[in-house]
Chain A
Amino acid sequence: MGILEVKNVGKRFGGLQALGDVNLSVAENTVHAIIGPNGAGKSTLLNVLVGKLIPDTGSVMFDGQSVLGRKPHEINQMGISRVFQTPEIFSDLTVLENVMIPCFAKRDGAYRMHAFETVEDEVDIVQKAEQMLLDVNMQDKLRMTASSLSRGDKRRLEMAMCLVQEPRLLLLDEPTAGMARADTNNTIDLLKEIKDSRDITMAIIEHDMHVVFSLAERITVLAQGTPLVEDTPENIKGHPKVQEAYLGQAHG
């Protein structure tokens, strides 16, 4: 029984069957990649997992509880964090404040008004945030406005914001999309480091095979809204169906 169980999920947009009959099981403490050509339904599936879309059929269970019908902030409070294709950060706030906000959310729940303390009074939270930023090598950028960071640092910051909440499942939506090779490699290293140093389950949606094969322990191939195969990276590489549906096009 995996930490995330997707059963018979289907989603239709008008005449388009975005997700057919998706079954997926993500085991705890693994890195599970979901790949597939454009329009395969990867993003739709991710949006179902985080509560942005409600599927027409099927069920999604996280740690024995259904996530369907819950709002994104409730799903996050269950222990699922998400990294976006383009980093979503609080760009007008400082780097430190960016990481402090998830700490507050983790400690106090969806809302609690601390109107009569100063931010500096929250020593525990400041320390936790500083430690997190030290872990991702951003300790010298604490006071910078997030919008002035480089693209790679923004990605790093977003990861830090997710990780500081100690999520049980981290969803990554094409974390290297649009990046230069060097940045991509940095991101891979960062993700490897995260995987090795924490008890965390990751589900990655990715286009770049280089990223997928250097990280993933299980791979699910989606095509036209249904899972084609699910297997280890080694087996996927040589799978004829996958070659045909996806890799063949990408490498040919």
Chain B
Amino acid sequence: MGFLPSIFKKVKKKDDDEKKDHKGLIIFRSVKETIGAEKILKGYSIRVVAPPPEIREGCDLALEYDMVEEIGIKRELERNNLKPLKFIPLSDPSLRPLELIKVKEFNDGSIMVRCGNMKITVDRKGNILNISGGGCPDVPYLTLKLKGRNILEIPEGETPKELGYTLCAYTLNKSFEEAKKIIKDI
């Protein structure tokens, strides 16, 4: 009976491989384009993943998609004037952007929200007091653009994911969205 688990493992592995066979990656020129495409392709089975190591530069994103949907996706991207660099079969997308959020409240009631390496601090009215962390060049830029403004009044077109270009901006956007949610609920 000892051989059964290994058979199950093989069957499971085969299933996993088959699942992968149906998936592909869409590679874009920049994180900004990837984020834009993610938004446009909301109705499709897509998710943000790391590009394969051989083409990775340290700060990029790719979209995993179901290859069955390729034509529709291509059409949708064309309609929106987005031109991916390439569509490739899925190789090793085990790495996905961080989702873990941590929240800290200070004595004066201010709230700091952290996702990965990016932190945003707001007062209880939603005024952005400070942004910290990160290492990509758009973080200081986003800080200049957002600090001092009220998080509830920032239009969709001026959020970190719309103004930024890198993974740091993408991560900051997660902190931003969570902070906005917290302030709305107060």
A and B assemble together: no
